[in-house]
C-alpha cells in the first residue's frame, strides 16, 4: 500500500467513525462508547506491559480518580464538565508521578503487587471519605441527560489519541529506552538509560489516558461507588482486551475490545454465569492462540507488519 | 600521562565474603590494562563497582579526578565508562542495530537519526553490519560478543571495561578480537581495562597487568614480570608449581 492511499483510508475511516452516531441506534452507540473506552485504556496498558515490562495491576486507581475528580469538580465546584475532565487528567498524571517514586523502585511482579495494594489503599480512603459520599457512593446528576451521541466523541477521541500515542511512543527515543528496559533493565542502565525517568514518563502517560477514560466513563455511567470505581476488574478487563487481541500490538486491542464488548452483551442475560463464560473463552483463545488473535491473523495472512502494529 | 581511573582502597563484602578487599590502582589515559585472577577472585565484582552496579562498602573510585563511587550506572556511563558482560546480554527481541542504537541514544545522548548512523559505524567496526536487521536472539556466541563491544563503543566511552571478551571464541576469532581491542585504543583513543581468564591472551596487547586473588591485588606490572611472579603462579597453579 502506498503511503498516500494509506492516509486516504485513515481519513475515510475517521469520517465514518465521526458520523457513526448519526445513523446507528442507541444500543450500538452505548456499545461503541464502551468499545472506545476499553480500547483506549488497553492500548496503553499493553504497551507498558509488553514493551517497557511495566505490568500494572493498579490502573483502576486512575479510573476511579478520573471519575471522582470529574464528578466532584463539576457538581461541587461548578467547573464546566469538559474542564473537569481535563483537570482530572492532569491530576491523574500528577498522581502517577507521585506513585512512581515508591512503586517504580519495585520490579516485575513486586511492582504489580505494589500497584494493586496502592489501589486498595485508595479505595479504602474513598470508602471513608464523606465529602465524596463515602460508602454510599456518588450520583453524578449533572451528567444526567447528556446523550450518547455527544459522549461518543470524547470516547472516540480518547481511543484515537491512545493509538497515536502508542505508535509515536514506540518510534520515539523514549520508546527505544523503554524497550531496552523491558528487555534487561540493568544492561539498559549501564548503557546510559535513566531507567527511572523513562519508566515514570511511560507510567504517567499511560495513567493520563486511563484517568481520562475514567472521566468519560463517569459521564456515561453517572454513578460512582468506591468498590466498583477502584475495582481490580477494570485492570483485569484491560488485560483481557490487550491479551486476547495480542499484547504489545496496536491492532490487537481493537479486536480484543470488540470481542470483550460483544461477549459482555451476549452473556448479559446469563447474569451469574457471564464471567465464567468469558473466562472460559479467554482460556480457549489463549490456549489456541497464545500470541493473541491479531498475531495469529497477521501470521496467517503473511502481513509482515512492522511493530508495533 | 593523564590519570583516567583511580581506585583507592576499594572494598566490597557480601555477607561474610569479602569479594574485593582494599584494592588500589591507577590507569592512565590510552593504556590497555589487563585484569587477571583465578575464578572467584573478584574481577567482575571490581567491574561492577567501577561501573556503578554495586556501591562499595569502603574506598572510592575516581574517574578523571571526579569521585564516581555511589553514582547511578547511567550517570557513570554518560561520564564515559562503558562495559561489556562476560555472558553477553543483548536485548533479545530488538534488532542488532537497535541494540547498538540504545548506547548511542542514551550513553552518547544522540538523536534518533544520528544514533542510527553512529550505531552502523560501530557495527562496521566490529564486522557485524551485515546482521544489522537480524533480531539479536539469532546471533551466535562470537557475534553476541562483538555486539557487546559495538554497543559499549556506541556510548562514546573514554574508558571501556571488557569482561572476558575472548571467552567462547575460536582461535581465529581470538586473534581478530585481540586486534580489535588494540584498534579500539589506537583508532578511538579509548582506554581499555580488560578482564581475561587466559593469561597468555593478553601478551603483546596490554601495557600492564593487575592480578587479583581472593579479592586482593597480589601483583601489578608488565605482562612479563607478572606472569613470572611466584605469587601469581601460586595463585593459579598452587604452591608446588612455584620454581625456586
Q: Minimum mean pLDDT among A9-13, B98-102, B122-126: which range?
A: A9-13
Q: What is the mean pLDDT of residues B22-50?
A: 95
Beta pairing, strands B58-63 & B3-14: antiparallel
Burial (0-12, 13-18, 19+ Cβ within 10 Å), A4: exposed
On chain B, the residues whose CB falls within 8 A of the CB of A195 are: 74
Distance CA B174, CA B171 (A): 5
CB–CB of A187 and B91 under 8 A?
A: yes
Q: What is the mean pLDDT of residues A2-12?
A: 81
The alpha carbon of residue B135 is apart from the nearest alpha carbon of chain A, in Å, by: 13
Q: What is the mean pLDDT of residues A99-124?
A: 96
The alpha carbon of residue A181 is apart from the nearest alpha carbon of chain B, in Å, by: 9
pLDDT tens digits, one per residue of A217-246 = 999 999 999 999 999 999 999 999 999 999
Partners of A254 in the beta sheet?
none
Residue of B nearest to A175 (CA): B102
First to last CA, chain A: 15
State yes or no: pLDDT of A21 exceeds 90: no
CB–CB of A192 and B103 under 8 A?
A: yes
Q: Which domains does chain A have, with CATH numbers?
A: 24-300 (1.10.3470)
- Whether B111 has its CB under 8 Å from any CB of chain A: the answer is yes
Q: Any idea what DSSP says for residue A147?
A: -
Cell of A295: 498475531
Q: What is the mean pLDDT of residues B180-205?
A: 93
Can you give the pLDDT at residue A286?
Answer: 85
State yes or no: pLDDT of B43 exceeds 80: yes
Q: Is the pTM of this model over 0.90?
A: yes
ipTM of the complex: 0.94
Can you give the pLDDT at residue A274?
Answer: 78
- Whether B155 has its CB under 8 Å from any CB of chain A: the answer is yes
Count helices and strands (H / E) in chain B: 8, 10
State yes or no: pLDDT of B112 exceeds 80: yes
pLDDT tens digits, one per residue of A25-75 = 888 999 999 999 999 999 999 999 999 999 999 999 999 999 999 999 999
State yes or no: pLDDT of A272 exceeds 80: no
Nearest by CB to B89, from A173, A179, A184: name it: A184
Strand B191-195: give its sheet, edge to edge. Answer: B81-83, B159-163, B191-195, B32-36, B208-213, B216-221
CB–CB of B107 and A191 under 8 A?
A: yes
State yes or no: pLDDT of A1 exceeds 60: no
CB–CB of B77 and A179 under 8 A?
A: no
- Whether B156 has its CB under 8 Å from any CB of chain A: the answer is no
Amino acid at each position: 500500500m502506498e503511503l498516500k492511499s494509506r492516509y486516504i483510508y485513515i481519513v475515510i475511516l475517521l469520517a465514518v467513525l465521526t458520523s457513526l452516531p448519526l445513523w446507528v441506534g442507541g444500543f450500538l452507540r452505548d456499545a461503541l462508547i464502551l468499545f472506545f473506552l476499553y480500547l483506549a485504556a488497553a492500548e496503553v496498558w499493553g504497551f507498558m506491559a509488553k514493551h517497557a515490562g511495566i505490568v500494572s495491576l493498579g490502573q483502576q486507581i486512575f479510573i476511579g480518580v478520573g471519575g471522582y475528580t470529574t464528578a466532584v469538580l463539576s457538581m461541587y465546584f461548578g467547573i464546566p464538565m469538559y474542564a473537569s475532565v481535563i483537570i482530572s487528567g492532569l491530576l491523574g498524571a500528577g498522581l502517577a508521578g507521585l506513585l512512581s517514586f515508591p512503586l517504580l523502585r519495585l520490579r516485575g511482579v513486586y511492582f504489580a503487587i505494589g500497584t494493586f495494594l496502592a489501589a486498595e489503599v485508595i479505595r479504602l480512603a474513598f470508602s471513608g471519605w464523606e465529602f465524596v459520599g463515602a460508602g454510599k457512593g456518588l450520583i453524578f446528576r449533572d451528567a444526567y441527560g447528556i446523550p450518547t451521541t455527544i459522549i461518543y466523541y470524547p470516547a472516540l477521541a480518547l481511543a484515537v489519541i491512545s493509538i497515536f500515542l502508542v505508535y509515536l511512543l514506540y518510534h520515539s527515543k523514549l520508546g527505544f529506552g523503554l524497550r531496552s528496559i523491558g528487555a534487561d533493565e540493568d544492561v539498559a542502565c549501564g548503557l546510559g538509560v535513566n531507567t527511572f525517568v523513562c519508566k515514570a514518563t511511560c507510567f504517567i502517560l499511560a495513567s493520563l489516558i486511563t484517568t481520562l477514560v475514567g472521566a468519560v466513563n463517569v459521564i456515561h455511567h453517572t454513578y460512582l461507588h468506591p468498590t466498583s470505581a477502584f475495582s481490580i476488574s477494570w485492570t483485569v478487563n484491560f488485560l483481557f482486551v490487550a491479551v486476547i487481541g495480542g499484547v504489545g500490538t496496536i491492532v490487537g486491542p481493537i479486536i480484543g475490545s470488540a470481542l470483550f464488548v460483544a461477549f459482555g452483551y451476549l452473556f448479559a442475560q446469563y447474569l451469574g454465569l457471564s464471567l465464567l463464560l468469558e473466562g472460559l473463552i479467554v482460556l480457549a483463545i489463549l490456549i489456541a492462540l497464545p500470541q493473541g488473535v491479531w498475531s495469529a491473523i497477521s501470521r496467517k495472512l503473511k502481513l509482515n507488519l512492522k511493530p508495533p502494529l | 600521562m593523564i590519570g583516567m581511573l583511580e581506585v583507592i582502597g576499594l572494598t566490597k563484602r557480601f555477607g561474610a565474603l569479602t569479594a574485593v578487599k582494599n584494592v588500589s590502582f591507577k590507569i592512565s589515559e590510552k593504556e590497555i590494562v589487563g585484569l587477571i585472577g583465578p575464578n572467584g577472585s573478584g574481577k567482575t565484582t571490581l567491574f561492577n563497582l567501577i561501573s556503578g552496579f554495586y556501591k562499595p562498602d569502603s574506598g572510592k573510585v575516581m574517574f578523571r579526578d571526579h569521585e564516581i563511587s555511589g553514582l547511578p550506572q547511567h550517570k557513570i556511563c554518560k561520564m564515559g565508562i562503558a562495559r561489556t558482560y562476560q555472558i553477553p546480554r543483548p536485548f533479545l527481541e530488538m534488532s542488532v542495530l537497535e541494540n547498538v542504537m540504545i548506547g548511542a541514544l542514551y550513553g552518547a545522548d544522540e538523536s534518533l537519526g544520528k544514533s542510527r548512523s553512529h550505531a552502523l559505524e560501530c557495527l562496521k567496526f566490529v564486522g557485524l553490519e551485515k546482521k544489522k536487521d537480524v533480531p539479536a536472539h539469532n546471533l551466535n556466541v562470537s557475534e553476541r560478543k562483538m555486539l557487546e563491544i559495538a554497543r559499549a563503543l556506541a556510548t562514546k566511552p573514554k574508558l571501556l571495561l571488557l569482561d572476558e571478551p575472548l571467552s567462547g571464541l575460536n582461535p581465529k576469532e581470538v586473534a581478530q578480537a585481540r586486534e580489535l581491542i588494540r584498534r579500539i585504543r589506537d583508532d578511538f583513543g579509548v582506554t581499555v581495562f580488560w578482564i581475561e581468564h587466559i593469561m597468555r591472551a593478553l601478551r603483546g596487547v596490554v601495557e600492564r597487568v593487575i592480578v587479583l586473588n581472593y579479592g586482593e591485588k597480589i601483583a601489578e606490572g608488565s605482562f612479563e614480570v607478572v606472569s613470572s611472579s611466584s605469587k601469581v603462579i601460586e595463585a593459579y597453579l598452587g604452591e608446588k608449581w612455584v620454581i625456586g
